[in-house]
A and B are shown apart, each in its own frame.
Chain A
Amino acid sequence: MAIDPATPDTTGTGAIREAGGDVPAAVGPDGRPAAGIGPYRLGLRRLRRNKVALAFGALFLVIVVLCLAAPLYADHVAHTGPNDNHVTEQVTVRGEQKDVVSPAGLPIGPTWQGRFLLGADQNGRDLAVRLLYGGRNSLQVGFVATLITMVLATIVGICAGYFRGAVDGVLARILDLIWAYPVVLLGIALGTSLALGGITIGPLELSGNSLYVPAAIIGIVYIPYVAKPIRGQVLGLREKEFVDAARVQGASSLHIMSREILPNVASTLIVFLPLMVANAILLEAALSYLGAGIQPPNPSWGTMISDGIRLIPSAIHLTFVPGAMLVLAVLGINVFGDGVRDALDPRARVRISAAREEKISDEAMEATVEH
């Protein structure tokens, strides 16, 4: 919603910790880059030193693994499925019989034991089980949407920037169109209409409650955010000598775009990747909150929060549990993405060092990374 398309690398934390430019192995004794170290190896090395980013990346990874293990938890610990109702049942908590859902309609809170670890919802469904299954759905939508965004945005951005002229004119107008269309409104308009009837595009048939409906919507909505900066970068790259060299050697446009230009925008794509996953998960939650995302009874973090908000005065845990999980997952990938950006964007290091008026041999490193 609020990413500036023109400045992909502006939300920088800065790899502050290493602002002194102390990557000794990367720089030879004469201050020149040591031979044989590629920009990505350098980036990886910088990322490895950013312990905060790694810790948050690990947090995200743990959440992903937990969600993938949802069926194991459901079968062996909770002994119930994500959509199984236990409204009329009772559960033994520390030797005491308790209603899963009280006669007044209040669901049980966290029991801190195998069954109903985090409590139940108003339908007597195990919240922890739903949390993990919901996470699978939220993450799946996030990843699929990001894949759609990245692939289409790369194609559109490279074509627009490489061919310029009429191709650029048409593509840029389409991007402007998506760009000017209010994101959330476009999402709920598409989501509501597709949720009702599904859609058939050629051999592809999506039913209304398919996960791929919100994923496709979110994927399309975010295309301009990535395509615009890629296009700008390609406009500059196509004038570089190595493109001319390929052209006089008789390389086709397709070859130049895929073999010469694509590797040079790859680092921008890598920087956008975690950012887009985070945004896609957030937009899915927003759409589900408005009823235009993942359709019940399928759980997702967004639908669980929106169900919980209706009962917030009597059962805060219904909002708090999925909310905390969502924020932790998104925060994890955001901080990690920030670290990736710093590691791959040597300018961030130059900026900080300049601000601190320290002389470092970063220019040399910048030269290697920019090919």
Chain B
Amino acid sequence: MARFVVRRLLSMVLVLFAISILTFLIFQAIPNGDPAVRMAGRLATPEQIAQIRQSWGFDDPIWQQYLTTMGKIFSGDVVSYTQQLNVLDQIKQALPATLSLSIGAGIIWLFFGVLFGLISAIKAGRFTDRALTVLALVGVSTPVFLLGAVALYFLAFKLTIFPNGGYVPLTDDPVDWLYHLILPWCVLSVLFIGVYSRVLRSNVLDTMSEDYVRTARAKGISERRVMVRHVLRNSMIPIISLWSLDFAAVIGGGAILTESVFNLQGVGQYAADSIQQLDVPPVLVVVMLGAFAVVILSALTDVIFAFLDPRIRLTG
């Protein structure tokens, strides 16, 4: 068990290291992307550019620039190129919006994904199942920014039931916070509900053909109890590991589209704005944060499952 955890941790560190290098290289390799030229502005003299280049260390060899940037990130005083604001402070400001969005949506999509998947499996082959299948596929086929924009147009602009985007901190006004988040939550959840209900449906159908389910039925346990205690419980394992991955991705900037449609000023939107300005430090930090969340949560799920289910330990 300990060896399994150590091995998982080591590969996690390796992946994070590689991701930081890759991100750095992507932006360093850009032609016309010289940050000094852009920072100096349009009317800069070559001397000014040279000076910026020297004071920011853009003349150093690339590995040294990488080390300097990483050092700054870990000491907490990394500064963006364009506005020269502390990146970690900016992320701290954006994080509440992203966390509010992802936690709420995560709960919604898990609940409805499981509910619809279970109904679909119980009614397999009947009309309800087919209707839910079509709905799920429509949800999977609709881009989140299109859904968000259309929802805003009808529900915020035409009918004025919901506010037209924006984020209100929970500490300012809990009711307004909720009011502003309902629409983003629902829109972000649609895709995931589609995916999860399909996955759960086939998991449940798989589990229902297992011998232990037949045994449970043969013992005379009520159908409801068989479904909940035996079938659903076992079908949930892959769903939970999928959920932890998706949830981590959403926290780490994966909700970028939802955030920009609803103007939530979250971490994803911050990253998108920075990318458009070719601002390396914020992008580096957000990407690493996102990868960090994905890697840690998936390692954590692996370890928890290995603890719960010895079969995974042996094969993993």
Contact = CB atoms under 8 A, between A and B. Distances in A.
**Do A and B interact with each other, yes or no?**
yes
A189 B242 contact: no
B180 to A, nearest CB: 19
A41 B291 CA distance: 44
Given A10-B199, A356-B125, A189 B26 contact: yes
Interface residues of B, number: 73
A177 B18 contact: yes
A175 B137 CA distance: 27
Interface in B96-145: 121, 124-125, 129-130, 133-134, 137-138, 140-145
Nearest to B137: A334
B27 A193 contact: yes
B208 A185 contact: no
Contacts of B31: 196-198
B199 A11 contact: yes
A190 B287 CA distance: 13
Interface of B is mostly: helix
A323 B257 contact: no
Interface string A304-330: 011001001100100110010011001
A182 B149 contact: no
B271 A312 contact: no
A192 B209 contact: no
A16 B132 CA distance: 13
A12 B201 contact: yes
Given A11-B202, A305-B143, A319 B150 contact: yes
Interface stretch (A1-9, A143-151, A242-250): A1-9
A351 B157 contact: no
Nearest to A291: B276
B253 A184 contact: yes
Interface in B132-166: 133-134, 137-138, 140-146, 149-150, 152-153, 157
Interface of A: 1-4, 6-7, 9-14, 16-17, 19, 173, 176-177, 179-186, 188-190, 192-193, 196-198, 278, 282, 285-286, 289-292, 302, 305-306, 309, 312-313, 316, 319-320, 323, 326-327, 330-331, 334-335, 338, 348, 350-352, 354-356
Q: Which 7 A-B pairs have the closest CB atoms?
A: A197-B31, A354-B209, A11-B198, A16-B125, A330-B141, A331-B141, A193-B30
